[in-house]
Amino acid sequence: MADLFRSLGIDWRLLLSQAANFIILLIVLRAFVYAPLLRVLKERRARIEEGLAKADEADKRLIDANEMAAAKMKEAEREGLSVIADARIKAVKDKAAADEKLKIEEAAARVNLEEIMKRRRIEADAALAHEEGAIIKAAILKTVELSPDAVDDALIAQAITHVKQNRS
């Protein structure tokens, strides 16, 4: 075999030394380059997997947040409709109360107006009685041709009473 190596131009001692150098280089590279490189790659893979897991968790949280937001919106819509319905009911009640108050005020105004009309009627009757007295006094003076001092207030009052009784 030595002849075969020699005929090919290979020196077995050189080949053996190159093989030993290769094995030493392989051990050194494996210890100082390959192992740290594998450790860095493993850490990177772990960080990527952790990032993917966190992304999945964030997606789940986002979906949950969207569902909660939709539920809150529905609840707010229900509350809004409830507030509107309550406001309508209150408006109807307030209108009924205002109508009732208006009726009461109208009745009070009617009573007040009747009292005013009664007072005016009494005042008008008093003024009419005074005028009737003056007219009767003038008539008595003309018919009897008495002096104004001879006609007294008692006679005038009796004539007014007589006129009122005949009118009624």
Burial of 154 (C-beta count, 10 Å sphere; 0-12/13-18/19+): exposed
The rounded radius of gyration (Å) of the Cα atoms in the chain is 63
Give the per-residue pLDDT at 165.
Answer: 80
For 70-120, how does the pLDDT look when each residue is reduced to its tens digit (9 = 90+)? 999 999 999 999 999 999 999 999 999 999 999 999 999 999 999 999 999
CA distances from 111 to 2, 93, 123, 163 (A): 147, 27, 18, 31
- The CA distance from 92 to 99, in Å, is 10
For residue 16, the SS3 value is helix
Q: How many whole angstroms separate alpha carbon 149 and alpha carbon 44? A: 138
3-state secondary structure of 147: coil
Mind listing the pLDDT tens digit for each residue in 27-45?
999 999 999 999 999 999 9
How is the chain split into domains, by residue range?
A: 2-167
Q: pLDDT per residue over 53-81, tens digit each?
A: 999 999 999 999 999 999 999 999 999 99
- Does residue 11 contact residue 5 with C-beta atoms inside 8 Å? yes
Q: How far is CA 158 from the centre of its chain?
A: 77
Q: Residue count of the chain, please give it.
A: 168
pLDDT at 136: 78
* pTM of this structure: 0.40
- Which of 136, 122, 134 has its CA nearest to residue 166? 136
Does the pLDDT at position 143 exceed 90?
no
pLDDT band at 148 (very low <50, low <70, confident <90, very high): low
